[in-house]
Chain A
Amino acid sequence: MAKVIVVTSGKGGVGKTTTAAALSTGLALRGGKTVVIDFDVGLRNLDLIMGCERRVVYDLINVINGDAKLNQALIKDKRVENLYVLPTSQTRDKDALSQDGVERVIESLKADFDYIVCDSPAGIERGAYLAMYYADEAIVVSNPEVSSVRDADRMIGLLTSKSRRAELGETMPQHLLLTRYDCERVEKGEMLKVEDVQEILAIPLIGIIPECPSVLQASNIGTPVILDEKSQAGRAYAEAVGRLVGENTPVVVPKAAKRGLFDRLLRRSA
């Protein structure tokens, strides 16, 4: 049974696309046939993060409008077996997304795939609404910072009231993914603690992705960060994918490494 997972947040720039790329890659690495769909019509980014931007011919909007077949628009990932990208249009806007068009695309993908990951645009308007409407499960991405937490809260409210599952009276599992977690700044009180965010959002935590230079590097070279097994962020995403498929590993809150005297002296002189 195919599962539709939306990656959403309300606020922009918190790491939705990075997360959608990492999770879909992780699900495919575990053997599930996975497609990741870019819903950010007009601000196409997912193809860059996935490193397939030079192979885009047709896109989601072409498929919705009947200009191309689904198979023509799906881009097969070159690194990971079972992973496909459905890019979006850069020239159109969110009005090009029709509700029945999105439903048709998702329903036909369900026949072929195990996981359909929807990368939501920021905001709570049409693009974000259609990205989450058909979801079976949601990953709500937030930074440990007040405005993104408030927007995530709003998004959770919409998921529980405006999604198709909500309209049918079914529950939708929702998971909190805390990204850009900078433990030093949290310890200094400059960012919210994990408990504070969880207290406000009150949904289960699926992972904490530490702030990590590897994320930007990965974006720049078009490789999902989960493929960088040496990076902290990559490992944290791999663990989150494990929890998403049902592994019962506890979420460990990253701690700032205690620097020794020698290290501090070196750093000061550097």
Chain B
Amino acid sequence: MGTEERPPEHVSSLTEEGAPFQLRATSLTLLTLKLVDPAAPEFFPRLATMLSLAPGFYRNAPIVLDLSATGAKPPCDLVAFCASLRELGITPVGVQRANAAWERAANAAHLPAFPAGRAAAAQAAQSVAGTPAARVASGTRIVAEPVRSGRQIYAHKGDLIVLGPVSHGAELLADGHIHVYGPLRGRALAGMSGDKSARIFCRAMEAELVSVTGVYMVNEQLDSGLIGKPAQIFLDGDRLVQRPL
């Protein structure tokens, strides 16, 4: 499980202004459930055990059935299969990578076919199956050289520590905190996956933009008394706060 479904990224609006609806393309991330042997007797007990590890995460989750591994097996009754899935609290919304026989079975169960998506990183899938909100310390990334203009560094599931300067036009991203020991002149975005306790610390604040969980502040909004000084940025409720260090 845990792959990503990405329809085309473009956004189009086909309806005129004032219409009672708006038709737009959008990009969603969906879970997929890859069926290897859906007729196996232990299928539902084992699935139930796995879902119980993170019950909140899967509650009513829309899910796409990946049928690429079912091989040449004749299709099972997908109507009954989907009913059992719904009993476990997950909602099948479509299929992907189905052969012709399986696709007919999916049609009978009113499951549309999705184009094959790109799989998300295995690491992400694992942590999702475990404890979704926890931050793993081993994701911490230390960068010893200067971060030059145009470079982007992402500390996935951890903190980002930069020992040198961060130039204008460089971008630091972290799921956790960001520490910069040289001057911070580029962008710093902490709490990328929603950790509201993430903070940004720097020895000389000259950032173009700072952000925690998407709440951002551009250079013009920074306190002029803090420019060039040691500072920290954090969230207080939904408000971004800047304080001297």
Contacts and interface: CB of A to CB of B under 8 A. Distances in A.
Interface of A: 124, 150-151, 153-154, 156-158, 160-161, 199-200, 202
B150 interface: yes
Contacts of A202: 146, 164-165
A154 B165 contact: no
Interface in B222-240: none
Contact of A157 (B148, B164, B185): B148
A154 B146 contact: no
5 contacts: A150-B169, A153-B149, A154-B148, A157-B151, A160-B145
B167 interface: yes
A interface majority secondary structure: helix
Contacts of B165: 200, 202
A44 B150 CA distance: 28
B168 interface: yes
A154 B145 contact: no
Given A160-B148, A202-B146, A154 B169 contact: yes
A154 B150 contact: yes
A154 B164 contact: no
In the A-B complex, the 4 residue pairs with the smallest Cβ-Cβ separation, listed nearest first, are A157-B148, A154-B149, A153-B149, A154-B150
B205 to A, nearest CB: 15
B interface majority secondary structure: loop
Given A200-B167, A202-B164, A202-B165, A150 B149 contact: yes
Contacts of A154: 148-150, 169
Interface in B156-211: 164-165, 167-169, 183, 185
Contacts of A160: 145, 148
B32 to A, nearest CB: 35
Nearest to B168: A150
A200 B168 CA distance: 9
Given A157-B150, A157-B151, A150 B145 contact: no
Nearest to B150: A154
Contact of A153 (B145, B164, B167): B167
Contacts of B145: 160
A161 B151 CA distance: 10
Nearest to A203: B146
A86 B149 CA distance: 32
Given A154-B149, A157-B148, 12 more contacts: A150-B167, A150-B168, A150-B169, A153-B168, A153-B169, A157-B149, A157-B150, A160-B145, A200-B167, A200-B168, A202-B146, A202-B165
A150 B164 CA distance: 17
B203 to A, nearest CB: 13
A148 to B, nearest CB: 12
A27 B185 CA distance: 37
Nearest to B183: A199
Max chain B Cβ within 10 angstroms of own Cβ: one of A156, A158, A202? A202
Contacts of B146: 202
A11 to B, nearest CB: 12
A115 to B, nearest CB: 27
A186 B149 CA distance: 24
Contacts of B183: 199
A200 B165 CA distance: 8
Nearest to A200: B167
Contacts of B168: 150, 153, 200
A175 to B, nearest CB: 16
Contacts of B149: 150-151, 153-154, 157
Contacts of A156: 148
Contacts of A158: 150
Contacts of B148: 153-154, 156-157, 160
A12 B169 CA distance: 18
A227 to B, nearest CB: 35
Contacts of B151: 157, 161
A158 B164 CA distance: 17
Contacts of A124: 150
Contacts of B185: 200
Max chain B Cβ within 10 angstroms of own Cβ: one of A153, A156, A158, A202? A153
Nearest to A10: B149
A117 B200 CA distance: 43
A64 to B, nearest CB: 28
Contacts of A161: 151
A93 B145 CA distance: 35
B208 to A, nearest CB: 11
Contacts of A150: 149, 167-169
